Structure 1
């Protein structure tokens, strides 16, 4: 059998790319409930406890999965720098920055700006770290989608000049872009569920003591809603969502499959409407159509 040509190596089969996009979207669907769940969790727990404690919950699940699969509890040392970068990005950076932004008054709709810009930042990181080279059409559609979703979410939130929560959201954006890129790159050789499991296990020496101290020193007034929110961000946002997400990035391309996250702000707004009573008008339909068109174009633009 002849080896694949250079063009075939760069451009994965369309079926594989579509499968990667579908997996990535499952991850996006899981992540879309993170902001509303965080708001609920902070009704009974300190923002820092929510941000760090979610990683302990997910870390316990990760340990159980690794033991059930009879795998070593620590990954090879050569991958530790990549795991450290992922940990800084998605275990600490994004949860802490986004949680503090929400605690300081950023609404769920306004915070969705981060998600609207995240695919563009992830694509840029994919060029720098993963060696991907999207075509100009991809960048045009990516930029158009980011602009559309940013305008849509700002219109929904009706907020003006940048504030401290905005700067925190930018920090969350950059953190997630790095964590997603490194995780997608590592998932090309290691299954996605193992990647996030090892990230969480390697983070436990920091997250477990910090969570213990926060639990003993911060006010705790749990309610059923706050417990449900904490469970969601710990089990789904911090673990289960990353399993199809990293697999999708590895299979469909980090830059390309990552564009499915352009749909996340709209999904988040739907969750906010359903769970929190936030309302939005006809602009939602226009925003949804604009984003879906941009996503379709990015999926057609081969790397």
Structure 2
């Protein structure tokens, strides 16, 4: 039994894929919620506030479970995780979503599995076969191509910010998954949040809105979602899945994230799901299955 919460078995263990899928489902609401929040909240305040709220709950979690402090050798990797997924990705995407729509950001989410796999090789020491990379690239192209066909608005500033966000997020995912193998999934994100908490709290106070009453209920709900689910709960499942099933392999599940958003839109907002969406979804699922098979 390991600290990820399961028995380390053969690569691509089912439990790793189940946990990874749960993480992706939770993350699927992150960009739409961020888009709602930045319509009324400053992106810097949003980033610092969401990390502060999540960090507060991380402190409680660590205290209640009496978790030991990380070793000195684990501090630098935790800082990298913090810079990548606690600060970098949320801030850069929040800034980008002031210039582009959440639908347009799907273009870049399609590249995230590929960057995660690349950093899994660089930082995690994984060596997927050539067939894995073929499925990974095809899956990314399917998502990007679909997204480009759905939106025409382009912003160079927004696009560059999203590219930077994808790069730092891939690094944070890979570094966190590597550390999860020895420290544990919820421990990694909790300590990454705790390390950044003092700065986040001070920054949140400095950048707080001039009037809280001017912020709508929907914006506060969006902040609550990205704080608790996107910033903490989702990572508990995601890092556990990456650690058990493999960074490069399970990372391909991110290709499905945009389509979970489509499913939510169809169910909750009664938006139309056209045949192209279904065809691309089936193609992406095939690529995920192929990359899983050839991950080692």
Runs of 5+ unmatched residues, structure 1 = 1-10
Q: Are the counterparts in 1 of residues 41 and 209 from structure 2 also a CA contact under 8 Å?
A: no
Task: Give, in angstroms, the shift of residue 61 of structure 1.
Answer: 0.7
Instruction: Tell me, yes or no, if the aligned pair for 1:145 and 1:294 is still in contact at 8 Å.
Output: yes
- Inter-partner Cα distance in structure 2 for 1:48 and 1:121: 25
Q: Is 1:284 the counterpart of 2:277 in the alignment?
A: yes
Aligned to 1:3: none
Residue 51 of structure 2 corresponds to which residue in structure 1?
A: 55
1:154-165 matches, cutoff 5 A: 154-159=148-153, 163-165=156-158
Aligned Cα root-mean-square deviation (Å):
1.9
Residues 196 and 243 of structure 1 are in contact (CA less than 8 Å); yes or no, is this contact kept in structure 2? yes
Structure 2 gaps, min length 5: 1-7
| SS of the residue 2:105 aligns to | helix
- Give the TM-score taking structure 2 as reference length: 0.92
> CA–CA distance in 1 between the matches of 2:265 and 2:81?
28
Partner of 2:33 in structure 1? 37
Q: Does 1:17 align with 2:13?
A: yes
Matches within 5 A, 1:63-212: 63-72=59-68, 74-104=69-99, 106-159=100-153, 163-212=156-205
Q: Which portions of structure 1, spanning 4 or more consecutive aligned residues, are displaced by more than 4 angstroms?
A: 216-220, 272-280
TM-superposed CA distance for 1:280, in Å, is 5.3
- Give the conservation status (yes or no) of the 8 Å contact 2:89–2:168: yes
Which range moves more in the overlay, 219-228 or 50-59?
219-228
Aligned residues: 289
Structure 1 residues 240-279: aligned runs within 5 Å: 240-272=233-265
Counterpart-to-counterpart distance in 2, 1:219 and 1:286:
45
> Quick one: structure 1 residues 217 and 209, their matched pair in 2 at CA, closer, same or farther if it must change by over 3 Å?
farther
Contact 2:35/2:101 (CA < 8 Å) preserved in 1? no
Deviations 1:123-182 (A, max 9, x none): 00011111100011101100000010000011111245x611000000110010010000
